[in-house]
């Protein structure tokens, strides 16, 4: 494993998690992204769709299609936001609340399993390294000093 690049490790580990979540979600006719979205919607009151992107770490434009699919499947309802003519409030249906419970269970179980099998200090280091990677990328410090097109 240590001879692999950092991007390889990140990529394959994430793909494994994604695959696992999608396999689990398929057991209750759902998907990973739908599950994550359900968990980001307040089950008690209208959730402004603007709040979902930041919470889930993705672009609003990516969410739009997911929400549309979720509405088609009867998991949510989109209602106009009375306080903002552009905006939308998301409401979970009873069906959506049911699926949300299943998703919540899967996410909790996965995260518990990791915490039980990884010492806390190592987990903290893992988070720190992820933070550093995100910082390096968002600060654009990697490719800025003159792009090198050397051929190998």
Q: Which does 65 bind (CB under 5 to 8 A by kind): DNA, its own copies, none?
A: DNA
Using the contact rule CB under 7 A, the part of the chain among 60-68, 114-122, 125-133, 139-147 near DNA is 60-68
Contact pattern from residue 39 through residue 68 relative to its own copies, giving x for each residue in contact according to CB under 8 A and a dash for the rest:
------------------xx----------
Q: How far is the CB of 58 from DNA (least distance, A)?
A: 4
Q: Number of residues in contact with its own copies, rule: CB under 8 A? A: 64
Interaction of residue 6 with DNA, rule CB under 7 A: no
**Which tokens hold the place of 75?**
């998991």
Give the interface with DNA as residue ranges (CB under 7 A): 11, 15, 18-19, 22-23, 25, 31-34, 36, 48-50, 58-62, 64-69, 78, 81, 84-88
């Amino acid at each position: 494993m240590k001879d692999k690049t950092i991007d390889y490790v990140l990529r394959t580990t994430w793909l494994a998690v994604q695959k696992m979540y999608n396999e689990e979600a398929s057991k209750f006719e759902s998907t990973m992204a739908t599950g994550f979205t359900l968990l980001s919607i307040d089950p008690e009151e209208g959730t402004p769709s603007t709040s979902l992107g930041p919470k889930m770490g993705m672009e609003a434009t990516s969410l739009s299609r997911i929400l549309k699919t979720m509405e088609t499947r009867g998991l949510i309802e989109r209602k106009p936001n009375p306080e903002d003519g552009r905006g939308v409030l998301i409401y979970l249906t009873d069906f959506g609340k049911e699926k949300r419970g299943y998703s919540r269970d899967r996410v909790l179980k996965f995260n518990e399993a990791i915490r039980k099998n990884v010492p806390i200090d190592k987990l903290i280091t893992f988070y720190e390294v992820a933070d550093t990677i995100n910082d390096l990328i968002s600060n654009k410090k990697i490719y800025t000093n003159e792009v090198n097109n050397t051929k190998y």
